Amino acid sequence: MAEAPDGDRIVHREFDTDRDDPAIAVAEAVADLRGADTSDLSTMYDQVDHMIDHLFSTPPARDAQVQVEFTFEGYRITVDQDGSARFLAVG
């Protein structure tokens, strides 16, 4: 875990960009961080699911360095087109 400038901890994860449903990987990571089951989490926004799916299924050129950033279940989540992700607890 890395420290954010304000002292909060940032958790890094790597996702398989070839996975059929990468949004589920995000939910699984959040459940793991919370010590919960994915069925205990709220439904991820449909728009976010599709953005993550498209980021991996039809990625832009590498030099575009595209990221999807959103808040879900108390974490500010940043997912990069290369499959790396950062989770920062908020609130």
List the domain range (segments joined by +) for residue 30: 2-89
Tens of pLDDT, residue by residue, the chain (91 residues)? 555 455 568 999 999 988 888 889 999 999 999 999 999 999 887 778 788 888 888 877 878 888 999 999 999 999 999 999 999 999 7
Q: In the chain, where do the E strands start and end?
A: 2-3, 9-14, 67-72, 75-80, 84-89
Domains in the chain, number: 1
Ordered strands of the 9-14 beta sheet: 2-3, 9-14, 84-89, 75-80, 67-72
pTM for the predicted model, two decimal places = 0.84
